Copies of this chain bind each other. A is one copy, B any other.
Amino acid sequence: MSEFTNVAVTKKANCYFDGLVTSRTLTFPDGRIKTLGIMQPGEFEFGTQARELMEIMSGELEVLLPDEEHWRQIQGGESFEVPANAKFRVRVRSLTDYCCSFLP
Q: Residue A97 at the B interface, CB < 8 A?
A: yes
Query: How many copies altogether?
Result: 2
With contact pairs A19-B40, A36-B24 given, residues A12 and B95 touching in the complex (Cβ less than 8 Å) = no
Task: Spell out A's residues near B (CB within 8 Å).
Answer: 1-13, 15, 18-19, 22, 24, 26-27, 36, 38, 40, 57-58, 95, 97, 99
Q: Are B19 and A57 in contact (CB under 8 A)?
A: no
A interface majority secondary structure: strand
Docked complex Cα distance between A2 and B24 (Å): 12
Q: Are B13 and A3 in contact (CB under 8 A)?
A: no
Q: Which of B13, B18, B38 lies in contact with A13, CB distance below 8 A? A: B38
Given contacts A7-B9, A22-B22, 9 further A-B contacts (CB under 8 A): A3-B10, A3-B11, A4-B11, A9-B9, A9-B36, A12-B97, A19-B38, A19-B95, A24-B36
Q: Please name the residue on chain B nearest to A58 by beta carbon.
A: B12
Docked complex Cα distance between A27 and B36 (Å): 15
Chain B residues within an 8 Å CB radius of A27:
3
